[in-house]
Structure 1
């Protein structure tokens, strides 16, 4: 099962290493990670996505919660959370009609096209990981030259 973890930590050197080391030592994979300073510069928020069964996810949450530099650990319910990821794709343009077709695909996802060149286009999409994967699947036949993804950023909806 896919899980989104929101971790509020003290904003000091080494905390990212400590958190990722905890995952590694427990043989957990991190699917995505994003980290940023909060409105209070003394704290940072990490958003980590991972996959595991219920028991494994509970274990990693408990271990994270025990860390000294950790202020709060929450497992976010994806139905009560707004989560997005930014992705950039550089896609090969082999013939003139490719450019129009790639633009149409991008538009159908609400993506933006940047850096249009004779031989490539850059497509930007901010969406859920599933939607990004769907776009990637549709762009694959044109040959994706490069991909960059930021990792998931998430906030629980208000009132929960």
Structure 2
């Protein structure tokens, strides 16, 4: 897919696939439904996870052309920090949403509103986050001729 479309378009298509495949979680009725949905989600998620490193590597290449210094450790380190920050924010959002929708860990049977909160966390929240990411990422400049020029200049060194 990357060879045919490029990393940027592949990342966007993976994000769209991931977001669209989250929608059926809203109507999933049992474990089997959830597993089937998760299989489809996995294809989009795999693309996002693999392509992120490819895209960061392209940024590292452009930075090397501009600065003359190869700083992949810095870029991948910042990426690792941002991932951990996202995980922390995820826990905060989950706790607040579940609390707002009446989830009580001491109850054996949760109220219907708690299930609605869980469905929002599994569908609407990640879909909105992915939509924002895709809108922002549309402005990612490293593609096509510009990316080919960077690769060619690095190949001459």
Q: Would you call these one fold, judging by a TM-score over 0.5? A: no
Structure with the higher strand share, 1 or 2: 1
Bigger Rg over Cα? 2
TM norm structure 2: 0.25
Structure with the higher helix share, 1 or 2: 2
